[in-house]
């Protein structure tokens, strides 16, 4: 958690300098809790021209998680990856494409996810794994 807080602090600090492109100052919107279908927690995350994940905070419980990534943009590709678990990864998709990945959530905690293509533009988010109910 301390490491993640550091990353957010760095992102915030870099977003405040005028030398950064405007996209770096975009907020990180939205949060959602996964809905469960047939034992799989499913979350739909959109990524578009603002280089942000919508939503950027995703809460799940331990167990199987399916991330459905939708590129709503008109140009840049996006992907989705858990920084500490790089095999939990939705490969890059182009404009108007959708892809997904299913994996087992790590233990309770907070985990950073990124678009590996746009991490320097601040395209990051947080996967919150809540304790089992």
Site of interaction with Cu ion (CB under 5 A): 78, 115, 117-118, 123
Cβ contacts of 12 within 8 Å, gap of 6 or more: none
Helix (H) or strand (E) run with residue 11 in it:
helix 2-15
Shortest reach from residue 47's CB to Cu ion, in Å: 6
Least distance CB 99 / Cu ion (angstroms) = 13
Nearest residue to Cu ion, scored by beta-carbon proximity: 115
Nearer CB in complex with Cu ion: 1/22: 22
* Euclidean distance between CA atoms 85 and 70, whole angstroms: 21
The count of other CB atoms within 10 Å of the CB of residue 80 is 26
Q: Quote the Cα angle for 129-31-18, to 5°.
A: 110
Q: At its nearest, how many Å lie between Cu ion and the CB of residue 64?
A: 25
DSSP state of 88: E
Q: Which is nearer to Cu ion, 62 or 95 (CB)?
A: 95
Based on CB atoms, which residue is closest to Cu ion, 28 or 118? 118
Q: Decide whether 33 or 99 has the Cβ nearer to Cu ion.
A: 99
Minimum separation from the CB atom of position 77 to Cu ion (A): 7
Q: Is 28 helix (H, G, I), strand (E, B) or coil?
A: coil
Are 40 and 66 in contact by the 8 Å Cβ rule? The answer is yes
Q: Nearest approach, Cβ of 87 to Cu ion (angstroms)?
A: 19
Residue 41 or 92 having the CB closest to Cu ion: 92
């Amino acid at each position: 958690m301390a490491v993640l807080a550091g990353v957010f602090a760095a992102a915030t600090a870099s977003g405040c300098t005028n030398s950064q492109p405007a996209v770096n100052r975009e907020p990180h919107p939205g949060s959602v809790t996964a809905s469960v279908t047939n034992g799989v927690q499913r979350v739909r995350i959109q990524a578009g021209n603002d280089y942000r994940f919508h939503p950027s905070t995703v809460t799940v419980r331990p167990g199987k998680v399916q991330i459905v990534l939708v590129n709503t943009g008109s140009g840049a590709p996006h992907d989705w990856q858990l920084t500490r678990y790089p095999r939990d990864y939705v490969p890059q998709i182009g404009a108007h494409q959708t892809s997904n990945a299913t994996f087992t959530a790590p233990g309770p905690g907070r985990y950073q996810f990124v678009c590996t293509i746009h991490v320097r533009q601040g395209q990051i988010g947080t996967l919150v794994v809540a304790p089992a109910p």
